[in-house]
Structure 1
Amino acid sequence: MAPSAISDKPKVLAFTYPECAGEEYMKEFKAKFQFDVLEATTREEVIRKVPEKVASSGPYDALLIRMGTKPYEPFDAELLQGLLPGCKIMVSGSAGYNEFDVDWMTKNGVIFCNTRNAVSEATADMAIFLMLAVLKDATRAENSARTGKWRHDHSPTVDPSGLTLGIIGMGSIGKHLAHKAAVFNMKVQYYNRNQLSAKEESRYGAAYCARLNELLSTSDVISVNCPLNDATTKMISHEQFAKMKDGVFFVNTARGPIVDEDALIEAMETGKVRRAGLDVFEEEPEIKQYFIDSDRCTLQPHLGGLTNASWQRAELECLENIRSFLETGKAISPVNENEV
């Protein structure tokens, strides 16, 4: 697990420069580590240029992958093989990591780190924004204002106060969401793989639902905030929508494939779901035409965590993971440490 001994300094490669980390931080980082950037804008370029870069300047001990890397996905053997066997840690600026082949990394002795806290609050803010938008019928109201219809038939809209918010996934994003929902005098309940401690439940004013169906059948607003994995793919489908209250408000800021979009469309057509706020989609950047055409949907292009503060926190968290690993042999937030 030791860094490469080819250079006096351990070598770090980034697919794009972490400009949000700040030059003062980067100056200090570069004093300890050789830091290079791969000039590539497409997946094909990365596949071609990584072996060339390793041959000319490597081998590299660490790889940094910023947020906003859709053109390179997926991060698999085909893309990253050229960094082996020298590279021992790969870090991502994103919280979710379904686009990374962590199993492949583990088999090759590579530590993988995501960012655990960088985008959490910003994503919770997006969930609040979409929740308020669907409660206030904002998309339809804006369309009416822009087309000269004024209020049309929009009033009255719905107050969040007194409604029950059901949070699916009570990690850091869910906790931020629960905390913010309290400002609107909402009742908060959650479904999670593991129940929080009594102290945490008290802190966030959240009641635990031991079964998903319990949360679905008793929530006025449902927010999806769990990670995407094999167990959560299409976790919300026809059966789950059927369990929900009639006229429920539905928000997804997690990952598109967690929700069966055909089932959501059916639920919207029958009135089971009154309105939906979506920041993520099954086949993004492609969006189903139904959602584009429906004025009962408020849509965002997966912007939840993409704020200036989140980018800075993500890049600093990535760099600190690398620094810690190269200096101590231990990363701060490894996903697969127990398997490597």
Structure 2
Amino acid sequence: MSGGVDSSVTAYLLKEQGYQIVGVFMKNWSFPVKRITECPLYQDYLDMVSVCKFLKVPYLVFSFEKEYRKRVIDDFFKEYRAGRTPNPDVLCNREIKFDLFLKEALKRGADLMATGHHIRSRKTPKGYQLLRGKDPIKDQTYFVYPITQAQLGRCLFPIGEYTKAQIREIAKQVGLPTAAKRDSQGICFIGRIDAKDFLKTKLLQRKGDIVDLSGRKRGEHEGAWFYTLGQRRIVGLSGTAKPLYVIKTDVRKNLVIVGSDSDTYTKVARIGPLHLINPKEYTSRTLVGKQFLAKSRYTPELSRGVLKKDSKGFYFQFSQPERAVTSGQSLVLYQGQVCIGGGVIKDNIK
């Protein structure tokens, strides 16, 4: 339980269904961080406690600070230092919540783990499927695609059957203390922290040039690794008649290259190892050459395309040019409501 309305309603629904539940707060961060003025973890903990007391259920705290720093935060900085834009929520779910947290819960005698994700699961003769949440705006399968069959078999996702508005209404009607609490924004299980401010705690500011495709200098920046593909608000960019966007960064040369919005579009996303949620239902061999829906970033929108493979590995060819296909993010595949799996984007090709 994170102290938010989604996990609060999850606890309420399960108790109403007759489950014996224990609320668990996951403590992954408490180290002081320079430049960071707002880290609401303690308030989130207090909100979790108030909900558990309201529901009359016991609560615990699991601490994974050391593991979280090593397996999520260190990788986060490593990727940005290399000029990629990782998704910490994908990392957190893969490395901590559905791995260490689940193992600890089972070790302590739990039969199942329930989360407040807007996702669903379904058991079929061939195994478990991961399904998109009923609310297309809030669907979080993008963050959970690395999940395995063994993990799905031990998990419940009660709120995936509801829209966010319905969740809010349930919380309000029941009188849950978190009914009016705003959704969290920021880095997974750290809180409402601006990613750029967080990066500056480890990555040095390095003055460099902002150039256009012709090589003409258009301004100066404070470090190429602070910028990501498709970004429009570019600190240090001189006034321009038309909007300019980041279309590429070169951390080795410390350059930020800008262009028009049309320059951010590509047709192909090349990905790393392909993770399949249910290998008995879908195999990489049978998927190649077929058309799927896909997300190249966390968004409600789905794009069509074909999964292909060559000597360099898997790649996804979009039916229409896709904006800001960014290395470090994930390319997640869907067939209807079913999330098939995905892989980390290595590169994009025009």
Q: Report if TM-score (shorter chain) is over 0.5.
A: no
Structure 2 length normalisation: TM-score?
0.31
Higher helix share: 1
Higher strand share: 2
